[in-house]
Structure 1
Amino acid sequence: MTLKSMTGFARSDGVHGDTAWFWEVKSVNGRSLDLRFRLPSGLERLEASVRGLCQEKLARGNCTINLTVKRESGQTEIRLNEPALAQAHAVAERAKSLTKLKPARLDTLLAMRGVVETVEPEETEEQQAALGHALLAGLAAALDGLIVARAGEGERLQRVIEQQLTDIDGLVARAVAVVARQPEALSVRLREQIARLGEAGATLEPERLHQEALLLAAKADIQEELDRLRAHVAAANELIASGQPAGRKLEFLAQEFNREANTICSKAADIEISRIGLELKTVIDQLREQVQNIE
């Protein structure tokens, strides 16, 4: 199973009777499922069905759904609104008498709104239902295409995310190796500091030296953070393998990754641990950017 992106585009078209149409659907990342529709005048009745179909097939993303419809011109009737033409002519004649200008031409009068009307043929309820069914079937095809596009983008993102998780795991392994050497390094550092104090004439009791050594070791202990990072990597890989929408959970895990990396940097008592912590933060920031696009 692969992850699905929230980014994609698809189109479908078809013909039903004298009506040709095409759907365009596109989506980008979003915190939830946000749907925007653009339906032609007269087809607003389909919005509830369109919304339900989108909610059935999509889980997250800012989605725009556009429907364009064109009817064959032979089915459209053009009518002359004679009362409106008469009124327009009367107004033109009155204007001529007042201004002494040339009378309005016929093409000018016909171009006035309402003089010439375009009348679409009336449809029965059965015809409307049949057209609505065909349009919804076309939308389903477009949404299926969108899902395929989002899956293709998700597959690419999955490879990137899996590599980032592998990088995090490798950095944790490096940190574990450094941590294993830390007690000896802390001991050497403490002896060096004691030697410098001795040169300055200061003395410390053995018990106090032991307490200081324990305190330094406790402050520098990052084993819990490393264990949690490994657990987060395992959880992220399980989410990817589940095949379920995992974007929100991966975003949460990315926040937890970042929390542990910050703690490691703040506890670092070794230059190598500091370097590893900074590398972790870089990879985790890249991970956070990618998982924001996952459904």
Structure 2
Amino acid sequence: MPVYSMTGYASAQHSTAHSAPEGEARNQPVTQLGLEVRSVNSRFLDLTFRLPEDLRQFEPALRELLGSKLKRGKVEVRASVETSSTSSIPEATPKLLQKLNAAQDNIRAWLPSASPLSVADVIRLAAAEQGTSRDWSADVMPLAEKVLKELLSARQREGARLATMLLGHIAQLRSLAEQAGPLVPKLVEQQRTRFMERWKEAMALTEGSTLPETAQDRALTEATAFAIRIDVAEEITRLNSHLDELERLIKKGGEIGKRLDFLIQELHREANTMGSKSAALELTHISVDMKVLVEQMREQVQNIE
């Protein structure tokens, strides 16, 4: 299965011409239905709809459609209905004019001071009548399915880019872990030699050049305790195990965002522990480089569904 990002955008339009008398075909108005969907990262699926009044009735069906394909993300759905014609002015039919005239006479009979309808008022009401007279039942859902398909494609393309980036970071972390492994035995041996030299110097100042067996044992004990304190073998083993699981999940795909986020936290913990146990500048640099990579991975994993 592919890896999906929660970030994406898609839009589509559908145009429909209104019926008009044959002689008026050139001024036939055209209504355009527009639909766009924006998606960003979120812990859960959060759907928001911005629909005109004519399309409010389709919100439950749109919510069900999106919920069947999207599992996480903050998703905003916007729709618009625009009517235009060659003259860009909606036609006020005689029937509408009769209704408006009758309504105006009735209102002014009770409210003589009411302002008469202007040409702009008539045009606005004619546009509103054309918008409400259109039945979008056969158009909204097919258009929504088309937009959703494009959105999923966009999220898949972004998810593939994120997966490639994460796999590259995993390879870099493995390389750093391989560099850290041989440093620990070398540090332990250096520290053991240093302990023995210091004890020999101390004993030489007090009792000559002879090093008692107890002093030597104590020096070895101190060296062993130091080796235990700086040993990062367990951290490297766990880190490689987490990297194996990360790589397996990324190649598997699907809904892996939350599991990846947990593993990233574990990676950060192991890198921190390695830094706290560091007894050499080289190991400190490796730990810092690891934490930088892990932090970069954390930011990108937040966008994976």
The Cα of 1:195 is off from its aligned counterpart by: 4.5
Kindly tell me the number of residue pairs found equivalent between the two proteins.
Answer: 275
Cα offsets for 1:130-151 (capped at 9, x unmatched): x224201101110111111111
Work out which of the residue numbers 189, 192, 195 in structure 2 matches 1:190: 195
Segments of structure 1 that go 5 or more residues without pairing to the other structure are 93-107
After superposition, the Cα gap between the structure-2 partners of 1:195 and 1:110, relative to the gap in structure 1 and judged at 3 Å, is farther
Task: Answer yes or no: is 1:219 the counterpart of 2:220.
Answer: no
Structure 2 SS opposite 1:68:
strand
After superposition, the Cα gap between the structure-2 partners of 1:121 and 1:173, relative to the gap in structure 1 and judged at 3 Å, is same
Work out which of the residue numbers 38, 43, 46 in structure 1 matches 2:55: 43
Q: What residue number does 2:117 align with?
A: 110
Which residue type is aligned with residue 222 of structure 1?
V
Task: Answer yes or no: is 1:169 the counterpart of 2:179.
Answer: no
Aligned counterparts of 1:199 and 1:41: Cα–Cα separation in 2: 96
* Greater CA drift, 149-158 or 285-294: 149-158
Structure 1 SS opposite 2:77:
strand
RMSD: 2.9
* Greater CA drift, 143-152 or 12-21: 12-21
After superposition, the Cα gap between the structure-2 partners of 1:189 and 1:86, relative to the gap in structure 1 and judged at 3 Å, is farther
After superposition, the Cα gap between the structure-2 partners of 1:87 and 1:248, relative to the gap in structure 1 and judged at 3 Å, is same
Work out which of the residue numbers 23, 33, 37 in structure 2 matches 1:21: 33
Structure 1 SS opposite 2:182:
helix
Q: What residue number does 1:257 align with?
A: 267
Cα offsets for 1:77-128 (capped at 9, x unmatched): 452322234455x227xxxxxxxxxxxxxxx63249999854637989xx85
Aligned counterparts of 2:35 and 2:173: Cα–Cα separation in 1: 43
Task: Answer yes or no: is 1:120 the counterpart of 2:129.
Answer: yes
- TM-score, reference length from structure 2: 0.80
Task: Answer yes or no: is 1:283 the counterpart of 2:278.
Answer: no
Q: What residue number does 1:141 align with?
A: 146
Work out which of the residue numbers 229, 237, 242 in structure 1 matches 2:239: 229
Aligned counterparts of 1:260 and 1:138: Cα–Cα separation in 2: 49
Segments of structure 2 that go 5 or more residues without pairing to the other structure are 19-30, 85-89
Residues 196 and 220, structure 2, Cα contact 8 Å, conserved in 1: no
Cα offsets for 1:29-87 (capped at 9, x unmatched): 11111111011113212111111111112121111100112356459745232223445
- TM-score, reference length from structure 1: 0.82
Aligned counterparts of 2:235 and 2:200: Cα–Cα separation in 1: 33
Matches within 5 A, 1:233-244: 233-244=243-254
Residues 2 and 158, structure 1, Cα contact 8 Å, conserved in 2: no
After superposition, the Cα gap between the structure-2 partners of 1:160 and 1:240, relative to the gap in structure 1 and judged at 3 Å, is same
Task: Answer yes or no: is 1:67 the counterpart of 2:76.
Answer: no
Identity of aligned residues (%): 32
Aligned counterparts of 1:69 and 1:212: Cα–Cα separation in 2: 80
Q: What residue number does 1:5 align with?
A: 5
Cα offsets for 1:141-191 (capped at 9, x unmatched): 101111111111222222211111111111001111212423312212323
Structure 1 SS opposite 2:295:
helix
Cα offsets for 1:227-250 (capped at 9, x unmatched): 011011110111111121211111
